[in-house]
A and B are shown apart, each in its own frame.
Chain A
Amino acid sequence: MNGLQANLRSTVSTSRAVIALVSIGIAASVATAAPPAPTDVEAQDVAGDGGGSALVRWTAPAEAEGITGYQVWRSETAKETGDRDATERADALAAAETEAFENEQRRLVDVEGLSPEAAAPRSRAVARQAAISLARDPAALTVTETGPHDTHWILVDTVSPAEGSLEVSKLDPDSSYTFIVYSVAPGPDGRPERSEASAPSGPVIPAAAVLNLFRLPLLIILLALCGVVLLFILLARRGMPLKIRTIAGLAAVDEAVGRATEMGRPMLYINGIQDMDDLQTVAGVTVLGRVAKTAAEYDARIEVPTSRSLVMSAARETVQASYLTAGRSDSYNPDLIYYVTDEQFGFTAYVSGLIVRDRPAACFYMGAFFAESLILAETGNSVGAIQIAGTAMPSQLPFFVAACDYTLIGEEFFAASAYLSGQPDQLGSLKGQDLGKILVGVALIVLVTLATIAAITGSTEIESMVSFIKTVILGG
């Protein structure tokens, strides 16, 4: 027995020695084939930002010849690890359940002679039980092995060999990260081959600064534009005469309501398909107030189907106030302002059907619209309704222009509130907006001129200036 044990020990130790030699041989061959890894990997938080960015630096290896790039990897956060574990666990359970189902189904059909349909419920029960048993034994579920330095790593980016640093963004500002870098070079067979992982960087938390300095240019632009608007509001209050051009679409509201009254047919008002957190919807509710007031004065019927409950509530308030202002509060009927559905094409189908059945004399489309814009406007056109639309969705404007009688284009739509109120404060804001437009125009001309000069002369100074304005000032 002792002799057998001794023999066994001798065989095991010989095997270990052989394995060790083979491993050393493999390691040696790998070491000769793989490119050298970068050194001195450091990571630091980007100062003055909004959080979530870190700068990773490394030193190229001494023998950097042949290196075609560097791969930067970051460590997983605790949340990412938890999510990955949960996904792997769910996948493993689902795979076990499928396997158990197939085995049991095969046994029942092949051995017990059941039909597949009859066997399926029993197979499902067995499979479910197998999954339950596995779920109760977490040790039975294997998770992905860790990478270098006993950590899970996520690839961030691959950069060119000329780079020695990379700014990594979209990180969690509250989590700690470490980074490793690999060199990449073509292997003996020409395929890209990676070095061993570098030593990990020190931990870094990409924390947010108190004030995001990268957004300062945006703050300055915002203050300048708001300042101009406020200035004109103040000037208007002091009696500065203001002239606003006629907006045909808004001037036509009275005509449309009058036509509906004469024809004895209802009017339809669609406030877009977005919720009250979209400014276009708010602007649409503003125009609704004016249309409803005119409708109340003419005693015309206005119907407002909405695709959002909150818009229905706001529209009811607005229309009620308009009827009250017109002295016709007794004519206000809240049931004419109602919710249909949030579903885009469900709403479109309802409104199209309504237009065809009720044949409204006037249709108003004011708000945010998508693909349904043309379906609604063409249906309205087909029943001969006078149609007025207003939206700030550039892709839908051509459809409204083609199918409606009047269209409020973008800024005209937002100007509606001021235009309709006629108050000096609001008209002043429109003038301020115009001056803001001039400022933007001047900035555009200057930048385009600079970019053109840079392209013609090849001046790197001007090019970097344009790049700075584009990425830092306008991109903050």
Chain B
Amino acid sequence: MLKRNVPLLITALVGVFLIVANFFPSLSAMSEDFTVFFGIIAAMAFVLGGGSLLKVHLKKISDRNAGWAFSLIVLGTFAITLAVGLLKIGVPPNPTFPDKPWSGSVNADGTAFEWIYEYALKPLSATMFAMLAFYIASAAFRAFRAKNIEAILLLGTAFIILLGRTFAGYYLTSWIPIDGPFSGLRIEELSVYIMQVFNTAGSRAIIIGIALGIASTSLKILMGLDRSYLGGGN
């Protein structure tokens, strides 16, 4: 009973306080403190997360599950990065306090931690992000199959937008005078028109729905009607 009611009470009180603080500026400093509390709780949970990470990957290695070597790499790089960060390896003193050897930031230029970030993590992240281009191509190939009227409309619109973003689109309709009455039919103009009018109208409708959904869900959580985030309905 306590396990359920105390969190509900805390949620309701803090939620109502944060809403009220939005209108009473003298309370806004306290509302910022709650954000700090969230950071503290998240930091505590990080210990659980780190424990879970170690447990899962150690078990994979111990059981020799498929891909156990990847788990070995995960744990190895985790240990190295943690040690490099905590021991401040290669960190020069803060320029303002040059006589204090541990005063520098681990993120300063030339530190080992910064090196790992710059030359290991960033290229790996960039590689993953770059793969998105191929995924977009394969998804577009499937989505733009002209199976019915709606799909044909989608295909045509996408074609105009894609052409409008390239020089080819500009070149194709460059014979239409830019200051004439039909300048709106130039592909780059059509592309801008579709994005600014049709696309914006559609996305704003979705955003209004989302905003109302967030307001309604927040209200349900504050009133304790929706308790599913605490584990189960009632």
Q: Which residues of A contact B (CB under 8 A)?
A: 50-51, 86, 89-91, 93-94, 97, 128, 131-132, 135-136, 173, 208-212, 215-216, 218-219, 222, 225-226, 229-230, 233, 275-277, 279, 282-283, 285-286, 289, 308-310, 312-314, 317-318, 320-322, 324-325, 335, 338-341, 343-346, 348-349, 353, 357, 371, 374-375, 377-378, 392, 394, 397, 399, 401-403, 409-411, 413-415, 417-418, 421, 423, 425-426, 429-430, 432-433, 436-437, 440
Contacts and interface: CB of A to CB of B under 8 A. Distances in A.
Nearest to B139: A402
Contact of B139 (A173, A282, A374): A374
Interface string B46-87: 111110110110010000001100100000000000000000
Contacts of A90: 94-96
Nearest to B213: A414
Contact of A325 (B70, B121, B232): B232
Interface of B is mostly: helix
Interface in B93-133: 93-99, 121, 124-125, 128-129, 131-132
A430 B209 CA distance: 12
Contacts of A226: 215, 219
B70 A353 contact: yes
Contact of B216 (A51, A136, A436): A436
B212 A339 contact: no
A241 to B, nearest CB: 19
A131 B97 CA distance: 9
A433 B212 contact: yes
A212 B27 CA distance: 11
Given A90-B95, A436-B216, A339 B231 contact: no
Contacts of B208: 437, 440
B23 A394 contact: no
A310 B41 contact: yes
A285 B229 contact: yes
B139 A403 contact: yes
Given A392-B214, A417-B228, A425-B225, A374 B219 contact: no
Contacts of A135: 96-99
Given A289-B228, A411-B212, A51 B66 contact: no
Contacts of A97: 95, 98
B101 to A, nearest CB: 10
Given A226-B219, A349-B128, A425-B225, A313 B48 contact: yes
A309 B25 contact: no
Identify which of B66, B217, B225 gathers the most chain A CB atoms within 10 Å of its CB.
B217
Given A94-B95, A136-B99, A285-B229, 16 more contacts: A90-B95, A131-B98, A210-B25, A229-B215, A312-B49, A314-B229, A318-B229, A321-B232, A325-B233, A335-B59, A345-B129, A374-B135, A417-B217, A421-B226, A426-B226, A433-B213
Given A233-B225, A289-B232, A411-B210, A131 B220 contact: no
A432 B217 CA distance: 11
Identify which of A276, A312, A409, A417 gathers the most chain B CB atoms within 10 Å of its CB.
A417
In the A-B complex, the 8 residue pairs with the closest CB atoms: A309-B49, A414-B213, A321-B232, A208-B25, A339-B49, A321-B231, A317-B231, A411-B209
Contacts of A279: 214, 217-218
B42 interface: yes
B208 to A, nearest CB: 6
B48 A339 contact: yes
B138 interface: yes
B148 interface: no
Given A339-B53, A349-B128, A414-B213, A429 B220 contact: yes
Contacts of B38: 277
Contacts of A277: 38
B5 interface: no
A289 to B, nearest CB: 5
A141 to B, nearest CB: 10
A282 B95 contact: no
Nearest to A275: B42
Contacts of A128: 93, 98
